Structure 1
């Protein structure tokens, strides 16, 4: 390997049955032998997220040699996602350095792009509001990837995609991380407009007067308790080569106190993240536009702040959703499904081929699937396609059913339905509620639809890991982009 004037050279180490194994490092046999003889004594295991720094070798030209764990290699092969996570982990832990050189084993362009994507996501830092930033390490500024595929004609396009997708994930994280005093319905709507600048995406903001006039009763009801009125943001991206018309709907509760059915104090602490679905939808569509994918897409960001006040909706109130269905509000903390109902109806009225909604919808999702795996429910074909896209993108989602027996639990004696029903399996009950607002397509059949509940994986309350930082994670952006790419690929 030619010398590179970088601060650090990062090589991959896997967790083998007989100890750590260096993978494809472009080092001399003597250096490899020396490292092999000392790794165990140095405590190197190859476990995922482990990072060990050593003095740089003269042959590399870098100041530091870094051994990055990639976990267990199955049959000697490391998955693309393991490389992506290891690159992200290294980029995150090497903050303070300027230029980092990665020399991981790569046999496909997708792996090189995955390393670039992981590094870009791992280097993310939220521009926090600390008054004293002394001692804070800056994120790495430059990444070089050593690969035998450097001259592959497909590499430039793959790296451009990796950059666009990672930037979309990081922009989503920043929106989620903003304090609710800074990001509320009006400023979220303006942020959408700002992020779309320079892209072929039309942004239409529906303010409270227009929402009231046009009958968006769910979003107006949820937002009426706040001094900051709600917004619906419509995004439109059109391609003259479109092979499909897709609609995305995102939950954008900028802060969720629970309303009159107020949450306990501890349950409110992270509720600035309740707009993560809308942030993911926004940035996924912007990424699709930046990539120039041949589809038409609309996005509906259902943005409100759920607060208790003298003007807030009460348990037992009845709201009229866009399109006329009535909902008895039995719990004002089940507000996400109310704003999403309006968005799903609005999306349906334009007869897309598919509707996908994304929401931090239920605490039951976390109970069922934990903090890292999202649930997907809806039409089997759309759900399966989203699962396949997530697997390719490196995100964790798992299909869940929509049991018919849950629907009667949503019956109301005074309205078409109630906003809460069977508590057990609450993630699925919430999805059954949303299903009621999916309209029919031009063919008279119900529009294919799937619902992503990202309540757990949208916000990381624990320690950072891989390319995932604390707080906002950017969950679902990569899955949505991969899904659109798969739709395009299937059309050929």
Structure 2
């Protein structure tokens, strides 16, 4: 785990493996960003000129290493691009700083300590740099030989932040808690499915409950059968690893509202009898990303002491083909009592979520938000970096979209067209788990809406695109599990605690 310190030392005097500074584009000119004045002075005011000679342009995502001159305690200077320099009096923006810090932390993999002298004008800037650096320093090495594994940056020293300033200290502590919980979610997503079974995931939640004073309840296959959770059981029937429904709850004595979060937790998705084609199975350990995000968001709410009750529901199952697996054409009786004809066993996420949403509704929360890697259709619609938002309340959908943009997560509001609902009509059951193919992400949202308790505000986040990154790392985003939506959920909880929602 990467350590974070707020240092009062100057950039020229702090001992570290590297000094991180920012550079930006001002027209056609490269300029050194605020915070790096002492470093520029050590270069006799020619840092920008030297970097230009080395080919640096100041573009976002760019990182340039160069030897430090005499006068600096660190042997290396790392210049990261911040893009276009802002107008006078304006800051670079939290997401720009977050990504630059992430780029620097990734570049310095293997280093013991790096001093970040990026521009800090506000406590928000300090928090963004801290968050980006801690997220960028992430590496999943649990299954690699210790000798060969790349060790992440061990310590981040934040220069320019004020450790005695309450706002700066609070921003850094908040960022550290959130980054560590996002990295917890990433660890779960990256864990091989032969080790992260539904029971193993439930055990992780129980351990976190003891550590953070959370109330955890686990329904095993016997309890699920007794309770009539036909959706979760129907999905898990084909696996030797039985399903679980986990309730993990954080409560605050001064809380006036309750937020229920529901996460899809398919620890491995083969597609079941409707088997996925070759080339589509290799990353399906990530189909529990929604449950990982919900779990981490509840723990983060506890660590931050938010004055709101946050309950997480983790709908955990492994979707496998076998002689006992649910078949296309089978009818499941859901926990709500509704019957669902299963036309495609690879549309399983909505089945486990439906049972969990119904159960969450029984506690009459002020709002329910479910999170899921639900449909390939959403990836086709929005790409692999943006999640879709659907809701039964337009204002709530807008608020979540604005929150996501504020914390640096790309999202887009999506409709729930009533005319698509009829495409899920079934001649055999109350409804089918599939409708028309076109607009499949919206059909899935309409299916889930059927199970939301009357009068409860509800939103659905389809994170199928950004939950798992298969390309090269960028900014603070690693290859593999990303922890998508954790920041949005935490900020949503904060806004709910503040009475703004």
Q: Distance in 1 between matches of 2:417 and 2:170?
A: 43
Q: CA deviation at 1:352?
A: 0.5
Q: How does 1:122-161 map to 2 (within 5 A)?
A: 122-130=136-144, 132-147=145-160, 149-161=162-174
Range with bigger deviation, 24-33 or 338-347: 24-33
1:319 to 326, 332, 348: 332
Q: Aligned pairs, how many?
A: 486
The reply on whether 1:361 has 2:374 as its aligned counterpart is yes
Q: CA deviation at 1:361?
A: 0.1
The reply on whether 1:54 has 2:66 as its aligned counterpart is yes
The reply on whether 1:243 has 2:252 as its aligned counterpart is no
> Which 4+ runs in 1 deviate beyond 4 A?
none
Q: How does 1:94-243 map to 2 (within 5 A)?
A: 94-130=108-144, 132-147=145-160, 149-243=162-256
Range with bigger deviation, 28-37 or 263-272: 28-37
Q: Distance in 2 between matches of 1:290 and 1:179?
A: 27
Residue 464 of structure 2: aligned partner: 455
Q: How does 1:469-488 map to 2 (within 5 A)?
A: 469-488=478-497
User: Which consecutive residues of structure 1, in runs of 5 or more, have no partner in the other structure?
Assistant: 441-445
Does the Cα contact within 8 Å between 1:108 and 1:149 map onto a contact in 2? no
Range with bigger deviation, 299-308 or 379-388: 379-388
SS in 2 for 1:236: strand
Q: CA deviation at 1:39?
A: 2.1
Q: Taking structure 1 as reference, are residues 58 and 180 closer, same or farther at Cα in structure 2, changes over 3 Å only?
A: same
1:283 to 296, 313, 322: 296
Q: Taking structure 1 as reference, are residues 32 and 316 closer, same or farther at Cα in structure 2, changes over 3 Å only?
A: farther
Q: Distance in 2 between matches of 1:305 and 1:330?
A: 18
Does the Cα contact within 8 Å between 1:205 and 1:233 map onto a contact in 2? yes
SS in 2 for 1:303: strand
Q: Distance in 2 between matches of 1:235 and 1:150?
A: 34
The reply on whether 1:18 has 2:32 as its aligned counterpart is no
Q: Distance in 2 between matches of 1:428 and 1:448?
A: 18
Q: Distance in 1 between matches of 2:86 and 2:337?
A: 55
Does the Cα contact within 8 Å between 2:126 and 2:161 map onto a contact in 1? no
SS in 2 for 1:198: helix
Does the Cα contact within 8 Å between 1:180 and 1:272 map onto a contact in 2? yes
Does the Cα contact within 8 Å between 1:80 and 1:114 map onto a contact in 2? yes
SS in 2 for 1:294: coil
Q: CA deviation at 1:285?
A: 0.4
Residue 468 of structure 1: aligned partner: 477
Residue 6 of structure 2: aligned partner: none
The reply on whether 1:256 has 2:272 as its aligned counterpart is no
Q: Deviations over 1:112-146 (max 9, x none)?
A: 0111111111111112413x444443111111111
With normalisation by structure 1, the TM-score equals 0.96
Residue 428 of structure 2: aligned partner: 414
The reply on whether 1:7 has 2:20 as its aligned counterpart is no
Q: Taking structure 1 as reference, are residues 297 and 136 closer, same or farther at Cα in structure 2, changes over 3 Å only?
A: closer
SS in 2 for 1:38: helix
Q: Taking structure 1 as reference, are residues 50 and 319 closer, same or farther at Cα in structure 2, changes over 3 Å only?
A: same
Q: Taking structure 1 as reference, are residues 32 and 243 closer, same or farther at Cα in structure 2, changes over 3 Å only?
A: farther
Q: CA deviation at 1:491?
A: 5.2
Does the Cα contact within 8 Å between 1:26 and 1:103 map onto a contact in 2? no
With normalisation by structure 2, the TM-score equals 0.94
Q: Taking structure 1 as reference, are residues 454 and 32 closer, same or farther at Cα in structure 2, changes over 3 Å only?
A: farther
Q: Taking structure 1 as reference, are residues 186 and 136 closer, same or farther at Cα in structure 2, changes over 3 Å only?
A: closer
Q: Distance in 1 between matches of 2:302 and 2:44?
A: 45
Residue 318 of structure 2: aligned partner: 305
Q: CA deviation at 1:33?
A: 2.8
Q: CA deviation at 1:150?
A: 4.4
The reply on whether 1:265 has 2:278 as its aligned counterpart is yes
Does the Cα contact within 8 Å between 2:51 and 2:64 map onto a contact in 1? no
Residue 73 of structure 1: aligned partner: 85
SS in 1 for 2:74: coil
Does the Cα contact within 8 Å between 1:186 and 1:231 map onto a contact in 2? yes
Does the Cα contact within 8 Å between 2:208 and 2:214 map onto a contact in 1? no
Q: Taking structure 1 as reference, are residues 268 and 4 closer, same or farther at Cα in structure 2, changes over 3 Å only?
A: same
Q: Deviations over 1:149-201 (max 9, x none)?
A: 44422222221111110010000000000000010111011011122332121
Aligned-pair Cα RMSD in Å: 1.5
Q: CA deviation at 1:422?
A: 1.5
Q: CA deviation at 1:47?
A: 1.5
Q: Taking structure 1 as reference, are residues 17 and 491 closer, same or farther at Cα in structure 2, changes over 3 Å only?
A: closer
User: Which consecutive residues of structure 2, in runs of 5 or more, have no partner in the other structure?
Assistant: 1-9
